[in-house]
Amino acid sequence: MQPPVFHPDHADSRHSLPEAFASIRVPRDDTHWMRRFLSYVGPGYMVSVGYMDPGNWATDLQGGARFGYVLLSVILLSNFMAILLQALSARLGIATGLDLAQACRQRFHPALNALLWVACELAIIACDLAEVIGTAVALQLLFHIPLLGGALISSLDALLVLFLMNRGFRYLEAFIIGLLSIIALCFAVQLIAAAPPLAAVLAGMKPSLSILTNSEMLYIAIGIIGATVMPHNLYLHSSIVQSRAYERTERGRKDAIRWATWDSSIALMLALFINAAILIVAAAAFHTTGHQDVAEIQDAYHLLSPLLGLGVASTLFALALLAAGTNSTITGTLAGQIVMEGFLHLRLPHWARRLLTRGLAIVPVMVGIVLYGNASVGQLLMASQVVLSMQLPFAVIPLVLFVSDRKMMGSFAISRPFAVLSWFVAGVILILNFKLLYDTLAL
């Protein structure tokens, strides 16, 4: 059987992210498995960036400071959901040669595609709001640069993407992985300094019904899911997995899907460590010391060193925030390009596409900073994650629909039990979003 029986038509026959398509060599089948795996390492870590961006910091900090370790179970659940959905995204891209946006454009009515594109752009704008504010706050804390100036500096990421992409996609991946290593190291040190009680941490990983009955806790929980399972990451992953020069045969695609799934699953376990560490440090430093009202990143920065008794803790916190914001703006820019190309089929020079997609996202961010300044950074970050969560169904439902379709995926369609699990995850996301919408309108 031929892998996918669904092929791109002539109008959409361009490869997703053409400058990177099949640009990274993959060793032959008789090469040691470790070398083959390492050749696929990269896209998963680029995707994992979105799962530990500054928006996650806002939700994790508030969750840990206000409710202690209770919401660790939500982080754990959302991470497993992310692993599943990103595996499906990689499968779609490798099996069909289409990214999620291109697949939507081919399968759906133009009116529905317009709705999906708008929803995804809103998600990218919400994500950029978190990323740019996070970067600006980090620059302010480390170098005393005003928020507006920091936001303008963060917009230069489009030039950084251009520079690294011109050197080769592997350089971009290496840069991302380097910054992720800095974030992990910074939080490992803070976690050791916080010395949280192991029993309380393990208890927090057990789901609690209070999360559903407490509206404030549920609001933050949905924000954590929105911050963890990023809708635009599903579009991004389905594109960048095609950067590997695997054989475009059934056997080659099957091999690529296996290694890409391992890559993203391992990378997302790193994201789980980072998110859990942020919440655990906040619970240990703030919740247990009577600082449950800490919601702003700036407040956390100023309190961490004295409360943990580690002078460098605050600096490590801000440095990790800067690395997270820089990483996230880079991958957000790439996702914006993929979404715009896939849905609108725009034919623009690479530099023009990146500046356009970055501009669409950063203008609302600049307006928000001018209007709100330092006063409501935490609220803006939290609201951005809830907006992301509200956009999730618009990406998750098409993704599960496509990978379950044998006419589209051929032998690579997911099995019936796997499809049931995937639809269950989509259903959970829908129910939580409807609950949030009801509670918001009822206020």
Which residues, including other chains, have CB under 8 Å from residue 155's CB and lie 6 or more apart? 132, 358, 362
Q: What is the pLDDT of residue 243?
A: 94
Which residues, including other chains, have CB under 8 Å from residue 391's CB and lie 6 or more apart? 119, 120, 122, 123, 126, 231
Contact 94, 22 (CB under 8 A): no
The CATH fold assigned to 10-442 is Amino acid/polyamine transporter I (1.20.1740)
What's the CA gap between 54 and 358, in Å, rounded? 18
Q: What is the pLDDT of residue 201?
A: 94
Q: What is the pLDDT of residue 11?
A: 37
Three-class HEC string of the chain: CCCCCCCCCHHHCCCCCCCCCCCECCCCCCCCHHHHHHHHCCHHHHHHHHHCCHHHHHHHHHHHHHHCCCCHHHHHHHHHHHHHHHHHHHHHHHHHCCCHHHHHHHHCCHHHHHHHHHHHHHHHHHHHHHHHHHHHHHHHHHHCCCHHHHHHHHCCHHHHHHHHHHHCHHHHHHHHHHHHHHHHHHHHHHHHHHCCCHHHHHHHCCCCCHHHHCHHHHHHHHHHHHHHCCHHHHHHHHHHHHHECCCCCHHHHHHHHHHHHHHHHHHHHHHHHHHHHHHHHHHHHCHHHCCCCCCCHHHHHHHHHHHHCCCCHHHHHHHHHHHHHHHHHHHHHHHHHHHHHHHHCCCCCHHHHHHHHHHHHHHHHHHHHHHHCCCCHHHHHHHHHHHHHHHHHHHHHHHHHHHCCHHHHHHHCCCHHHHHHHHHHHHHHHHHHHHHHHHHHHC
Q: Which of 86, 99, 258, 271 is nearest to 176 (CA)?
A: 271
What's the CA gap between 401 and 409, in Å, rounded? 11
- pTM for this model (two decimals): 0.88
Q: What is the pLDDT of residue 437?
A: 65
Domain extent listing, the chain: 10-442
Q: What is the pLDDT of residue 279?
A: 93
Which residues, including other chains, have CB under 8 Å from residue 253's CB and lie 6 or more apart? 3, 94, 95, 246, 247, 412
Per-residue pLDDT of the chain (443 residues; tens, 9 = 90+): 344 444 443 334 478 888 889 899 998 877 888 999 999 999 999 999 878 877 777 788 889 999 999 999 999 998 999 999 999 999 999 999 999 999 999 999 999 999 999 888 888 777 777 777 788 889 999 999 988 788 788 777 777 877 888 888 999 999 999 999 999 999 999 999 999 999 999 999 998 888 888 878 888 888 777 666 778 889 999 999 999 999 999 999 999 999 999 999 999 999 899 989 999 999 999 998 888 888 778 888 888 899 888 889 899 999 999 998 888 878 888 888 888 889 988 766 767 766 776 676 667 767 776 776 665 566 666 666 677 777 778 889 999 999 999 999 999 999 999 999 999 988 887 887 777 667 666 65
